[in-house]
């Protein structure tokens, strides 16, 4: 008797209703997808650069035409607020359009040598496996697939079990745009089945992984067996550093959004607020007003600022960091349910070795601590295994630059909480990851440099 297929019931985290059922690939289906991608690679790499660019522009146009539907799908599948979901769909469109300019500009070099001509080429790698988490299903898929396709690779995206719907739609839009069969596939499946096969199958030539640091380490270790390149975007515990000379009104008013955006399920979340001791109490008062004002509720409502967590299991994990009310300074509100709600929560004072201060919570929980002077701020900011993002609030430009250079993180912003711009590099120091996505740097993560010497001497 054939085995029952592995099916996944996709749930709306704001209502707990099942909104779709998705078949999950088994190892045989994964191998078949890899074979299709390998066959498609031979044709795709030979598509003339201008034609590849035109196809990617058409793909971006299809995403653009479907932006609102993609956003609504993400509201239902991931519980993202409609405002955020619109930004994410627009970001996916922008990223594909940005890299559509690349095939015609992927220049090699001509290097002066004796006795001949020396030229370099940027060759595509082959089949790229992209493992995507549930927190930003659409942008994170686009950040990898767009540069990979532009450089001439074929791509298989494995979305997270919880959030496959927008990625599946993206694959349909690629076909509608005219991308040949097999060039971009989306294969829902379990991490240890499909994701792991990307790691072990010799036909997959690169793995891009975004997710937990623990799984990222195992992906990297597995890829080492074949010296397979990896790009890793992992966890974070970013610091939001507020100096006494900062615009305190603005710093306090924006701090909640820097950590509670996407209900804190963001690897760039500024989940530690470091405040100069002389303005600590004053800052906390302003922060309390801002946190109590965060509108938590129906993500489809235009006025909502924070939606639910992704699942009941994840809510239990987030709650485990707040073990009683001892450290809770104040909280915002959240609906009762159904839905996986958790209120914005501020912890202060908190011991430096408390789990909520040292580990990635990935929920709407922030810890606030005082610091004394610049070097103390840098010491606390760097006292973590992570190094992804962070903010520095000060009116002193010299200090802003000194601190930005000293903080061990890949993406810092001054008097702002911005982390992601598709034309600038994004990625982490230390255990927050390896390699860079976005911007021009990402293209080279999907190519090998080939050097060719042509003898010209008789």
Ligand X SMILES: NC(=O)C1=CN([C@@H]2O[C@H](COP(=O)(O)OP(=O)(O)OC[C@H]3O[C@@H](n4cnc5c(N)ncnc54)[C@H](O)[C@@H]3O)[C@@H](O)[C@H]2O)C=CC1
Ligand Y SMILES: O=C(O)/C=C/C=C(\O)C(=O)O
Q: Say whether residue 271 binds ligand X (CB under 6 A).
A: no
Q: Does 141 bind ligand Y (CB under 6 A)?
A: no
**Segment contacting ligand Y (CB under 6 A): 28-36, 132-140, 164-172, 353-361?**
132-140
Burial class (CB in 10 A: 0-12, 13-18, 19+), 311: middle
CA distances (Å), 264 to each of 134, 169, 268, 272, 371, in order?
13, 26, 9, 12, 24
Which of 329/412 has CB closer to ligand Y?
A: 412
Q: Which residue is nearest to ligand Y (CB)?
A: 267
Least separation in angstroms between residue 200's CB and ligand X is: 10
Binding ligand Y (rule: CB under 6 A), the pick from 81, 210, 231, 432 is 210
135 lines the binding site for ligand X (CB under 6 A)? yes
Q: Which of 233, 305, 327, 360 is catalytic?
A: 233
Min dist CB 353 to ligand Y, Å, is: 26
**420 in contact with ligand Y (CB under 6 A):** yes
Q: Which does 234 bind (CB under 5 to 8 A by kind): ligand Y, ligand X, none?
A: ligand X
| Residue 160 is a binding residue for ligand Y (CB under 6 A) | no
Give the nearer residue to ligand X in terms of CB position, either 213 or 447: 213
The site map against ligand X for 152-181 (x = CB under 6 A) is: ------x-xx--------------------
Which is nearer to ligand X, 389 or 394 (by Cβ)? 389
Residues in 343-382 at the binding interface with ligand X, rule: CB under 6 A: 360, 362
Residue 233 annotated in active site: yes
Q: 126 vs 236, which CB is nearer to ligand X? A: 236
What is the three-state SS of the chain? CCCCCCEEEEECCCCCCEEEEEECCCHHHHHHHHHHHHHHHHHHCCCCHHHHHHHHHHHHHHHHHCHHHHHHHHHHHHCCCHHHHHHHHHHHHHHHHHHHCCHHHCCCCEEEECCEEEEEEEEECCEEEEECCCCCHHHHHHHHHHHHHHCCCEEEEECCCCCCHHHHHHHHHHHHHCCCCCCEEECCCCHHHHHHHHHHCCCEEEEEEECCHHHHHHHHHHHHCCCCCEEEECCCCCEEEECCCCCHHHHHHHHHHHHHHHHHCCCCCCCEEEEEHHHHHHHHHHHHHHHHCCCECCCCCCCCCECCCCCHHHHHHHHCCCCCCCCEEEECCCCCCCCCCCCCEEECCCCCCCHHHHCCCCCCEEEEEEECCHHHHHHHHHCCCCCCEEEEECCCHHHHHHHHHHCCCCEEEECCCCCCCCCCCECCCHHHEECCECCCHHHHCCEEEEEEEEECCC
Q: Within positions 180 to 239, which residues make up the interface with ligand X, using CB under 6 A?
A: 191-192, 195-196, 210-212, 215, 218-219, 233-235
End-to-end CA distance of the chain: 71
- Contact range with ligand Y by CB under 6 A, out of 93-101, 262-270, 289-297, 395-403: 262-270
Q: Pick one of 267, 392, 400, 443: the residue that binds ligand Y (CB under 6 A).
A: 267
Residue 406 lies near ligand Y (rule: CB under 6 A): no
Q: Which stretch binds ligand Y (CB under 6 A): 135-143, 173-181, 252-260, 347-355?
A: 135-143
Among 419, 431, 432, 447, binds ligand Y (CB under 6 A): 419
Q: C-beta of 43: minimal distance to ligand Y in Å?
A: 31
Say whether residue 136 binds ligand Y (CB under 6 A): yes
**Sites for ligand X among residues 73-132 (CB under 6 A):** 131-132
The site partner of 268 among ligand Y, ligand X, none (C-beta below 5 to 8 Å per kind) is: ligand Y
Calpha distance 293→291 (Å, rounded): 5
Which positions lie near ligand X, rule CB under 6 A? 131-135, 158, 160-161, 191-192, 195-196, 210-212, 215, 218-219, 233-235, 267, 317, 360, 362
Which positions lie near ligand Y, rule CB under 6 A? 135-136, 140, 210, 233, 266-268, 419-420
Catalytically active residues are 233
């Amino acid at each position: 008797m054939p085995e029952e297929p592995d099916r996944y019931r996709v749930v709306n985290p704001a209502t707990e209703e099942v909104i779709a059922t998705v078949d999950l690939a088994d190892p045989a289906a994964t191998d078949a997808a890899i074979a299709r991608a390998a066959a498609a690679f031979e044709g795709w790499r030979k598509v003339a650069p201008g034609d590849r660019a035109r196809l990617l522009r058409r793909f971006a146009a299809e995403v653009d035409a479907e932006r609102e539907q993609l956003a609504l799908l993400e509201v239902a599948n991931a519980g993202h607020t409609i405002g955020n979901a619109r930004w994410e769909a627009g970001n996916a469109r922008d990223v594909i359009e940005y890299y559509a300019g690349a095939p015609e500009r992927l220049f090699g070099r001509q290097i002066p040598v004796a006795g001949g001509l020396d030229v370099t080429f940027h060759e595509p790698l082959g089949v790229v496996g992209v493992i995507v988490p549930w927190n930003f299903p659409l942008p994170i898929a686009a950040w990898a697939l767009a540069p990979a396709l532009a450089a001439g690779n074929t791509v298989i995206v494995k979305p997270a079990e919880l959030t496959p719907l927008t990625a599946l739609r993206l694959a349909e839009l690629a076909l509608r745009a005219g991308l040949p069969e097999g060039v971009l596939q989306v294969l829902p499946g379990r991490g240890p089945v499909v994701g792991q096969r990307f790691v072990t199958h010799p036909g997959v030539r690169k793995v891009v992984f975004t997710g937990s640091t623990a799984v990222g380490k195992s992906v990297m270790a597995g890829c080492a067996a074949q010296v397979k390149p990896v790009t890793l975007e992992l966890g974070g515990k970013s610091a939001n550093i507020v100096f006494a000379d900062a615009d305190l009104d603005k710093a306090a008013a924006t701090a909640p959004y820097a950590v509670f955006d996407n209900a804190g399920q963001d690897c760039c979340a500024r989940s530690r607020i470091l405040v100069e001791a002389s303005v600590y109490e004053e800052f906390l008062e302003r922060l309390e007003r801002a946190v109590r004002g965060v509108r938590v509720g129906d993500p489809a409502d235009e006025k909502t600022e924070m939606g639910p967590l992704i699942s009941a299991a994840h809510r239990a994990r987030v709650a485990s960091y707040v073990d009683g009310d001892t450290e809770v300074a104040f909280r915002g509100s959240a609906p009762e349910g159904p839905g996986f709600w958790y209120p914005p929560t501020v912890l202060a004072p908190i011991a430096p070795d408390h789990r909520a201060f040292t580990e990635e919570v990935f929920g709407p929980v922030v810890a606030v601590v005082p610091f004394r002077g610049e070097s103390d701020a840098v010491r606390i900011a760097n006292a973590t295994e992570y190094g992804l993002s962070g903010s520095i609030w000060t009116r002193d430009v010299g200090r802003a630059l000194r601190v930005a250079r000293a903080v061990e993180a890949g993406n810092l912003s001054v008097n702002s909480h911005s982390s992601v711009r598709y034309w600038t590099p994004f990625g982490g120091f230390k255990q927050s990851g390896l390699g860079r996505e976005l911007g021009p740097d990402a293209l080279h993560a999907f190519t090998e440099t080939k050097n060719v010497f042509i003898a010209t001497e008789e």
